[in-house]
Amino acid sequence: MARDLSSLFDPRSVAVVGASDDPAKYGHAVAAQALRAPGRRPVHLVNRRGGTVLGRAAAPSLTALGEPVDLVVVSVPGPGFEAAVDEALACGAKAIVAITAGFAEAGPEGLARQRAVAARVRAAGAVLVGPNCLGIADNTTELYLASDRFAPGGVALLSQSGNLALELQLRGAPHGLGFSRFVSLGNQADVTLVDLVADCARHEPTTAIAVYAEDFGDGRAFAAAAAAAGKPVVLLTAGRGSASARSARSHTGALTTSADVVAAACRDAGVVPVRTPREMTVALAALSSGARGRGRRTAVFTDGGGHGAIAADAAEDAGLEVPELGGPLRDRLRTVLWDQSSVANPVDLAGMGERRPLSYADTVGELLAAEEVDAVLMTGYFGGYAAAGGGLGGGPAGGSVLAEGETRAAKEIVSHLAGTAKPLVVQSMYPHSPSCRVLAEAGVPVFSATEDAARALAALAVRPAPAGGVPALPEPAAPLRDPGYHGVRALLASGGVPFPPAYEVTDEGELLEAAAEFDGPYVLKALHLPHKSDAGGVALALPDRAALLAAYREMRERLGAPAYSVEAMAGLADGVELIVGVRRDPRFGPVALVGFGGVLTETLHDVAFALAPVTAARAEALLRGLRGAALLDGVRGRPALDVAAAAAVIERVTTVAAAHPEIAELEVNPLLVRPDGALALDARAVLTAPADAPKA
């Protein structure tokens, strides 16, 4: 249920507890900001010494005010924090912004204090931001309770870093970016990132949500809130380079990092991930244009070969495609360009712009109208003619005629854009020239750096959340009691995962009894070994019982494993081995991995990730997105594989894993996919507890 945060963002009255005349204290900066809009609502300053603060009378306590206060900012030293919160609640506060530090970030004792305060706030029906935060602001309600000013605009900024928020404000100014709201998240003891994303989604003046988060709390709930927002969500997070906690017993654990998990959550939620504050600014500037890409097929348009080549590389580095243009489109381009122009992609004017500036507009119009083009990246000198004519320097001598022509071309480009939803992004050597200003004022993102222009287009190409949004977790099933190989097989088989016949044996008699249940060839596996194949604990294609018995004796002598599995050998001809794994992330819950498997899983590293459980349709899309996806459709005369059957098994495996919170990792490797179906050939599980539980 969505929380009511109206008292937080549009309170009837405000009090700053800890207001001070000392510029070194945070209570001074917040009080000064709060007084910027005294006509909007009553603003009370509270200092235990009373007197005056910033030329205003200060009350010695909230109680001394003699009237209720809707929102209270608490900026006092730690020892007095709880008393200040209790007094605020007694005075009827419905929202508290806790700037005071020294709680969960200080250790277990601080965490216990924080939890106790949050419980008292919730019991009173109030909300708490922080503690250990730097305040909030809402430009749409003239609420200024942070140390810095934020230019008004449409971006809601939710950040765990005050300095990063300031940097984003400074970087956004040249692009005309402004902010509807700012919230410093702090420790999220009560009001969480999820609450704020949901509230900003309902906030009509907010057009995009920018998040810097180091701790997601409930990451899956964040992803779900972002998917449901109906507005662009741009995420900057830290720690991408460090591998998450893992078990060395599993390929899934060895292949999965925290960066993979966050990226999977972003894809499933339609969130735009960025790596730096600069990239976040670029993405927000692009998204503010209102255009959205239908896909990643990008036409690069330039007036110089060097710029075109660099831009094509930058586009592909950003995850876009720069395909060769089709014959009919190339023919249409030749009708508006001269003979020496290149029309393959990149499209190069090759000097025609100086002869006829409107050729820029004609070319952009043809590219935007082409069905095979999803977006256009224009790069190079455009803007230079108007820069020279406008006295900015750098353009050809006597450029006034060219300047006028270029400005007309800019206006013509704007008219072409009016008839399409496709995005155009521009990189210019003269981004502040009059003609580039024409484009920028019409909403076209203009950048000086090629890589920024490419990254902007990539942000516009991010797909919305898939149908159904972030997958819901199934109800927990009865816990898995036997995490051994056959116990895991039985669990998966009960969920509809197909396996070949298999029997666990501990001596030669049981081995021969098992072999009598089905004809060879046989497979023999030593159990309770982490990587059986690497240890020489798997023997394949044993033709008869004699060969099976000989392999058993040799393996037992060499490995000494207490138990073995005798299995029917699956037909490997025309098949491809896949891996399906699920690892339970502490923030995002179960995360699925699918890719090419077998003994070369970690060597190939051709895998994709998604939040689990994964539907069959989503699973097929993940498989089709692998680098080696062509293998699934048959190569060099091999038949096409039953990808739909493999996708169905992936759905069943990930559904089983999602229903068992006690399983830290579940893996089927290999999953053999053939022209006539899919078959799981091996499985293993790692439990979260107890730590010494036996493992397959």
Mind listing the pLDDT tens digit for each residue in 275-288?
999 999 999 999 99
**The pairing of beta strand 347-348 with beta strand 342-343:** antiparallel
Of 494, 522, 9, 591, which is closest to residue 245 (Cα–Cα)?
Answer: 591
- Tens of pLDDT along 576-619? 999 999 999 999 999 999 999 876 666 678 899 999 999 999 99
Burial 251-264 (b: 16+ CB within 10 A, else e): bbbbbbbbbbbbbb
**Which domains are present in the chain?**
1-135 (3.40.50.720), 148-290 (3.40.50.261), 294-460 (3.40.50.261), 501-568 (3.30.1490.20), 576-687 (3.30.470.20)
Whole-number average pLDDT of the chain: 91
Q: Judge whether 364 and 424 are in contact, CB under 8 Å.
A: yes
What DSSP designation does 175 have?
Answer: G
Pairwise CA distance, residues 294 & 311, whole Å = 20
Question: How far lies 590's CA from each of 151, 446, 539, 586, 656, in Å?
Answer: 40, 40, 33, 9, 11
Residues 2-13 have a mean pLDDT of 96
Pairwise CA distance, residues 262 & 279, whole Å = 17
Of 268, 267, 193, 272, which is closest to residue 231 (Cα–Cα)?
Answer: 272
The percent of residues in the chain predicted with pLDDT above 70, rounded, is 93
What DSSP designation does 321 have?
Answer: B
Question: How far lies 525's CA from each of 129, 247, 409, 506, 540, in Å?
Answer: 56, 22, 72, 12, 9
pLDDT at 217 over 90: no
- SS3 (DSSP) at 330: helix
Structure tokens at 633: 């459709």
What confidence tier does 691 reach under pLDDT thresholds 50, 70, 90? very low
Residues 97-124 have a mean pLDDT of 94
Q: Judge whether 658 and 613 are in contact, CB under 8 Å.
A: yes
Give me the helix-helix angle, 400-417 and 434-441, nearest 10°. Answer: 10
Write out the H or E segment, with its range, that includes residue 435.
Answer: helix 434-441
- Tens of pLDDT along 24-66? 999 999 999 999 998 899 999 999 999 999 999 999 999 999 9
Instruction: Tell me the pTM.
Output: 0.89
Q: Judge whether 418 and 364 are in contact, CB under 8 Å.
A: no
